[in-house]
Structure 1
């Protein structure tokens, strides 16, 4: 269940083809584009979807105008003082990740949970271990990673928490998240060498993950990510509400809460629950041998 993923609010409705739109703002910051050339649009048109996407387009313009933190592709972490607190506790998160990775090959490919992710990833090179997203909580995954969950409660407006796992030579092509009312944090947990062989580009800025270091960015800008090393790369992947002034904050709250009831979000939740049932039943069977 992301933005480009199954747990992003607008991804739930974005299966309707929307033309590329430039969202300009009144600063010198880069303009945001809705849509990415060469990426197959999501399908499933309907009157309800078209109406929802029109509301989203209006909300995105409000979000740019009423942002409390500006609209850069990658943020200065000083804008979010809590980011340092997350970084300080990264060893506890890494310790829980190490336990999760003992069954790495059984973790789901992202596209297996969020079917629309197949527009940018169709193999199991991008795996995930989800704790929560858009009102859904995986109680068993949270039980497996209680420190990770505790630490993430320090993030205001928390929406999604998961481990994002890139297998060797995995590359996500350029794409744009469907909604700019949410920001994303990556906390480096396993970052193999050489570091110049992996990274993420957001608009024109390239960031190279570091273990114990957080980066906060707006995935409403075109971005791509790659791991060209021969080892696994893992980050803590968190989405949180963008700090906005009235009336954008109210509109944003409404959209994010309505998204929980969309068919795509519910489909993703069902896929997650089905995977969990199998995953933990197999673990129990092994313990009882």
Structure 2
């Protein structure tokens, strides 16, 4: 475990990853976002998708089996970080990444609730408890956010076959129910940035329980069912990365075709549009 680096701004963070206490200003009207009325339990309903999307989801298991058969790395739920040498650079520079997360992503409304910008996450993302600051999303660079986090931007630029990169922020008491990722063609890496120590923050993936550590990387296959708890009084922050799984042919072709379809789908395009609207609204509010 790396030694703690002290924050220079205790209102945003302290050693236990305390909740953000900075006063929050009133946001402009975000009715432009695709946000239907909330259900009685407070969650926003997931959208009704076109038939082609629903059929695609049913074919996903077959596609994943074909991809798994062509994988050049194990198909385990949790993978050995040594199989991905570039993760060493993340671990060596984790404090610089954390400093940018604290200075940018954890300030005010910079990081929107995932349930607000991503309609397909509304079934699992508690309102306001899971927030994300996107740098890349399914191959789309969020240039404004990258410019605000130059050290992190430079690090993620060196990741082979990067698909997505964002700061994932879980408020105290957050529970993300069991779910699975979109495709086995992607692998996920988390770099621990702020991990509270006044309770238990963990993920169950497959039949394993894993925990984050500050300055350490966790590599896993999110198509295995997984569930997350932040049973602490603090805010958990990781740099979440997705990259293309190393594959032989024809798995590479199959995975690329599937990813291309996902990239063009409402799952990605609505989220991208909502994120850009969010950033624009913040920019207009702040003058």
Q: For this pair of structures, how many residues does the alignment match?
A: 243
> Does the aligned pair in 1 maintain the 2:64–2:183 contact within 8 Å?
yes
How far apart, CA to CA, are the structure 1 residues paired with 2:50 and 2:273?
22
- Pairing of 1:1-289 with structure 2 (within 5 A): 43-46=48-51, 48-53=52-57, 55-101=59-105, 103-194=107-198, 197-283=200-286, 285=287
> Does the aligned pair in 2 maintain the 1:158–1:240 contact within 8 Å?
yes
Q: CA, structure 1 residues 249+117, in 2 after alignment: closer, same or farther (shift >3 Å)?
A: same
Mark the runs of 5 or more structure 1 residues left unpaired by the alignment.
1-39
Q: CA deviation at 1:180?
A: 1.3
Normalized against structure 2, the TM-score is what? 0.79
- 53-62 or 217-226: bigger deviation: 53-62
How far apart, CA to CA, are the structure 1 residues paired with 2:128 and 2:79?
30
Q: CA deviation at 1:54?
A: 5.5
> Does the aligned pair in 1 maintain the 2:46–2:119 contact within 8 Å?
no
* Deviations 1:49-79 (CA, angstroms, capped at 9, x unpaired): 3553455333211111111001000011111
Q: CA, structure 1 residues 275+50, in 2 after alignment: closer, same or farther (shift >3 Å)?
A: closer
Q: CA deviation at 1:134?
A: 1.4
How far apart, CA to CA, are the structure 2 residues paired with 1:140 and 1:242?
28
Normalized against structure 1, the TM-score is what? 0.79
Mark the runs of 5 or more structure 2 residues left unpaired by the alignment.
1-44
Give the number of the structure whose residues are more often helix, by fraction.
Answer: 1
> Does the aligned pair in 1 maintain the 2:120–2:267 contact within 8 Å?
no
Q: CA, structure 1 residues 136+87, in 2 after alignment: closer, same or farther (shift >3 Å)?
A: same
What is the aligned partner in structure 2 of residue 20 from structure 1? Answer: none
How far apart, CA to CA, are the structure 1 residues paired with 2:46 and 2:224?
16
Q: CA, structure 1 residues 101+253, in 2 after alignment: closer, same or farther (shift >3 Å)?
A: closer
Q: CA, structure 1 residues 205+252, in 2 after alignment: closer, same or farther (shift >3 Å)?
A: same
Q: CA deviation at 1:45?
A: 4.5
